[in-house]
Amino acid sequence: MNTETAADKRDDQMTSTEAVNGDEVASAVLEDVAKLVGDTRDSHGDAIENQRHIATAWTWYLRGKGVLSSSQEIETVDVPRMMELLKLSRAVIGQSELDHDRDVTGYGGIATACQFVEDDDFTEDDLFITDS
């Protein structure tokens, strides 16, 4: 099992004469985020089911505040997209932390999953852009 982290790869590259390879670092971060989203130790439960519950709660809250009419609702895919906006806002306003960008990446994956599962217009061919 390879336990080398993105930081290890960066440090190895920086001590050599080669420049840091941005593509490799980005790929390593994406792999790490994929592990976090798919982690069986995750206490949040299934990502799509969780977004559905949050959408229902936000709809209830916003209807109660008079922001949404009884015929309007927050869709499942709206939840991770709004969470991306929250994380982007924190990145702009707050302290610079890599965690915000990792979270945006994870929420992007969850938004894609929500849209794929809940929208019959998408096929598995739409879900993947590279051959496995």
Q: Where are the domains of the chain?
A: 1-43, 45-132
pLDDT of residue 73: 97
Q: Are the C-beta atoms of 40 and 78 separated by less than 8 Å?
A: no
pLDDT of residue 6: 59
How far apart (Å, rounded) are the C-alpha atoms in residues 23 and 108? 19
pLDDT of residue 2: 56
* Assessment of whether the complete model's pTM goes beyond 0.75: yes
Instruction: List pLDDT tens digits, range 71-117.
Output: 999 999 999 999 999 999 999 998 878 888 999 999 999 999 999 99
pLDDT of residue 53: 96
How far apart (Å, rounded) are the C-alpha atoms in residues 105 and 108? 5
DSSP conformation class of 20: P
